A and B are shown apart, each in its own frame.
Chain A
């Protein structure tokens, strides 16, 4: 059974810092890995999608990496801003199952 873990559960940093969020998964048989952002009471916004054959994806100040063999992904946020405050969720796409398995998320607070 696939399990996804995100560390840390919460993170508070001053504005302008670069930061890394971590995601680990137990079964390397994945289609892809997707990072989402969720604002309080809202739905999920897709940030980056990495296919299992890829090593990283970049969008603006965000960079996500994937090491399938070790079961790890990181989301790097450069030059953090207060608007980046949200919960960040990592989810793996399961081969042959047409579903995502989510981590519990990292609640990020950027202090002005």
Chain B
């Protein structure tokens, strides 16, 4: 079955702009999580959605937001981009209501802010 699909794969944006990233989970999975990966901070949790509801949010400024649609696809938005937002953004999906089934990750979106 198809894995987790993230689009686009690469993005270059200018400081101050906003960006929207998309994630399609594995068919049947209702939980979608987002993570930011940078060389300095490693992988950090952004937020998690289950059945269109945000259940948990990491320690990121309000410029980072997300949503989930009724088909479980999710988007994350970053407004007023800063140079420090340059990172690999990874989406993960999970089949269960809890974390028991583990997570499957997509290939990521590489965001470069110039």
CB closest chain-A residue, reference B33: A99
Known: A98-B48, A99-B48. A42 touches B108 (CB 8 A): yes
* B102 and A98 contacting across the interface, CB-CB below 8 Å: no
Pick the interface stretch among B11-19, B50-58, B74-82.
Answer: B50-58
Do A41 and B105 have beta carbons less than 8 Å apart?
Answer: no
Complex contact A46–B56 (CB within 8 A): no
Interface residues on B, range: 20 to 34
In contact, A98 and B99 (Cβ under 8 angstroms): yes
Segment from A29-37, A60-68, A77-85 that makes contact with B: A29-37
Task: Determine the distance from Cα of A99 to Cα of B33 in the docked complex, in whole angstroms.
Answer: 8
What CA separation (Å) do A45 and B103 show in the bound complex? Answer: 10
Q: Which residues of A contact B42 (CB under 8 A)?
A: 102-105
Tell me how many residue pairs across A and B have CB atoms closer than 8 Å: 65
B109 closest partner in A (C-beta): A43
What CA separation (Å) do A51 and B100 show in the bound complex? 7
Cβ contacts under 8 Å, A93 to chain B: 99-100, 102
Chain A contact-residue range equals 20 to 34
Q: How far is the CA of A21 from the CA of B105 in the complex (A)?
A: 22
CB distance from A45 to the nearest CB of B (A): 8
Residues of A within 8 A of B56 (CB): 97-99
15 contacts between A and B (CB under 8 A): A31-B98, A31-B100, A42-B107, A43-B6, A43-B90, A44-B92, A46-B102, A46-B104, A93-B99, A98-B48, A98-B98, A99-B45, A99-B58, A100-B103, A102-B35
